[in-house]
Structure 1
Amino acid sequence: MSARDDILARVRAGVGKGDADARRAAALARLQAGQSGPQPTLTGDLVERFCAKAESLASTVARVDGYAAVPAHVAEWLSARQLPLQAVTALDVAGLDWAEAGLSCHSGVAVDADPVGISGCFCAIAETGTLMLLSGPATPASVSLLPETHIALVPAARVVATMEDAFALLKAERGALPRAVNFVSGPSRTGDIEQTIVLGAHGPCRVHLIVIGENS
């Protein structure tokens, strides 16, 4: 037995958790059973609800007909707020014609100097106005977390009702979890100092969502 195994064995014994294999098997069986607790019944259009909930969380939201309209909208939105027309894009959205709209973009991992990050999303959750983002070679998490401004492209057809629906879609399409799953519900915020809400404390201080197309 290695020193690591010896330490973990003593920890398990100390907390009364001896049979790790049996507990792991029970947890996997429960996950595979697909059991879930009560879920709300959402009425009305899911995309409209998502947009309303996202705006209530201090995100700004716009809707466009298709991906071709996205670069011009981004340039207009940034210019209206006197923000730099420079951005880092995740690889899954790098193919749009950003230069034609007057934007200077590079793709890949974000760095401190990047003022704007533009990403797609795996799906969006209508119940809470939340984005579900998956990390991967084409979708580095830094693009949505490091720049002061995060712009996310949200296909209307990828808006689901609840968090449970989002995880079910992930399981159906990907099978296994990626290295990280990030949920974005508006700009970063904290109320640690005098219980005053401050945006941008641990991430973007602005989140702009561009909903593309109609709900299917």
Structure 2
Amino acid sequence: MDTSAARRNILARIRSAQGRRGTPTDAEYAAASEYVERHPAGPRPTLPETLDELVARFRLEAERLSTTVAEVESLADAPAEAARYLQSLNLPADVVAWPALADLPWAQAGIQAALRKPADADLVGITGCFCATAETGSLVLLSGTETPASGALLPQTHIAIVPASRIVAGQEDAFALMRTERGELPRAVNFVSGPSRTGDIEQTIVLGAHGPYRVHVIIVRGA
């Protein structure tokens, strides 16, 4: 369901209540950008800075969230690691993957990858990520035609390919990277912190309540 029109209508009503008409002007965009740039950041804990430190911290926090993690040297090695993981759990090799990952050697690794949005029957979804945050072990996914958000939400098993160079320290750094590289946010920004879970019933944690109950991250050292 496309909610873009509804969002535009809501924002238009807010602008009208503020006494502003029409779409935001270039001057308004510039003023907002200038405010973000000069606004002081809040206090933050000491976070890793070097690549090795960022990878180690991300791995530690991700595993604390019940995410399993593996490392490979290149993007071309990622399908083979995905196949190994699926075989270790006797999961099907028929997967749905982001269209953005079309160039990877899926067939050579024994994986039948459908490059599209997932359907209810798809059990395994493979995605990339925009970036990942070391502080919380989270994946940051931006929706788009080549990177559908549902790829990480509908299948029971989610495999994510994370280039080591895209691991940032914290959420503030993730949003700064979005502003720098994208300028305008997409329809959906998802922070994925391990398998879906809930403790609503008797405070007992149940995995897979509202999404995947397995998350496997493949860190690519050479990307």
TM-score, normalization: structure 2?
0.83
The corresponding residue for 1:210 is 218
> How far apart are the structure 2 equivalents of 1:36 and 1:91?
36
Deviations 1:82-105 (A, max 9, x none): 111111000111221111111111
Determine the structure 2 residue equivalent to 1:38. 43
CA apart distance, 1:20:
5.3
Q: Which residue of 2 aligns with 1:15?
A: none
Spell out structure 1 runs of 4+ moving beyond 3 A: 18-21, 27-35
Partner Cα distance (1:94, 1:87) in 2: 13
What is the letter of the counterpart of residue 158 of structure 1? R
**Higher radius of gyration, 1 or 2:** 1
1:75 maps to which residue?
A: 83
Aligned-partner SS, 1:88: strand
Tell me the distance in 2 between the aligned counterparts of 1:20 and 1:94.
47
TM-score (norm 1): 0.86
- The count of aligned residue pairs is 202
Unmatched 5+ stretches in structure 1: 13-17
Pairs within 5 Å for 1:36-75 = 36-43=41-48, 45-75=53-83
Structure 2 segments unaligned to the other structure (5+ residues): 1-8
Q: Equivalents in 1 of 2:149, 2:204: separation in Å? A: 28
Identity %: 55
Aligned with 1:130 (options 116, 131, 138): 138
* 1:106 counterpart = 2:114: yes
CA distance in 1, matches of 2:56, 2:19: 46
Superposition RMSD in Å: 2.5
**DSSP-derived class of the 2:159 partner:** strand
Question: CA offsets, 1:137-166, max 9 Å, x none?
Answer: 100011110000000000000000010000
Aligned to 1:118, which of 111, 122, 126? 126
In 1, the alpha carbon distance for the partners of 2:171 and 2:19 equals 29
The one of 99, 103, 116 aligned to 1:95 = 103
1 CA distance for matches of 2:37 and 2:166?
Answer: 24
Of 126-135 and 98-107, deviating more is: 98-107
1:185 corresponds to: 193
| Distance change >3 Å, CA 130–CA 209, structure 1 → 2 | same
